[in-house]
Amino acid sequence: MDFSLVTGLSETAVSSKRYLSGIAKMFYDEGAAAEMLKEGDSLVYEFYELGVPEEAGEIAFGASITYPGKVGKEFFMTKGHFHTVLETAEVYYCLSGEGGMIFENPEGDVSFEEFRPGVAVYVPRRYAHRSVNTGDAPLVTFFAFRGDAGHDYGTIETKGYRKLVVEAAGGGYELIDNPKWKGE
Ligand code: MN
Residue 163 lies in a domain: yes
How far apart (Å, rounded) are the C-alpha atoms in residues 168 and 30? 19
| CA 91 / ligand 1 centre spacing (Å) | 8
Residue 149 lies in a domain: yes
| CA 70 / ligand 1 centre spacing (Å) | 23
How far apart (Å, rounded) are the C-alpha atoms in residues 70 and 81? 20
* Residue 9, pLDDT score: 60
| CA 27 / ligand 1 centre spacing (Å) | 20
| CA 38 / ligand 1 centre spacing (Å) | 32
Residue 160 lies in a domain: yes
| CA 5 / ligand 1 centre spacing (Å) | 23
**What values do phi and psi take at 77, rounded to 5?**
-155, 170
| CA 145 / ligand 1 centre spacing (Å) | 7
Domain that holds residue 132: 14-177
**In CATH, what number is assigned to the domain containing residue 31?**
2.60.120.10
**What values do phi and psi take at 65, rounded to 5?**
-125, 115
| CA 129 / ligand 1 centre spacing (Å) | 7
| CA 7 / ligand 1 centre spacing (Å) | 19
* Residue 7, pLDDT score: 54
What does pTM read for this prediction? 0.93
Counting every residue written for the chain, the total comes to 184
* Residue 14, pLDDT score: 83
Residue 3 lies in a domain: no
Residue 6 lies in a domain: no
* Residue 6, pLDDT score: 54
Give the DSSP H or E segment for 150: none
- Between vectors from CA 124 to CA 129 and to CA 117, what angle results, nearest 5°? 65
Residue 4 lies in a domain: no
Residue 31 lies in a domain: yes
Number of folded domains that form the chain: 1
Note down pLDDT in tens along the chain; length 184 residues: 455 545 556 667 888 999 999 999 999 999 999 999 999 999 999 999 888 889 999 999 999 999 999 999 999 999 999 999 999 999 999 999 999 999 999 999 999 999 999 999 999 999 999 999 999 999 999 999 999 999 999 999 999 999 999 999 999 999 999 999 998 6
Residue 184 lies in a domain: no
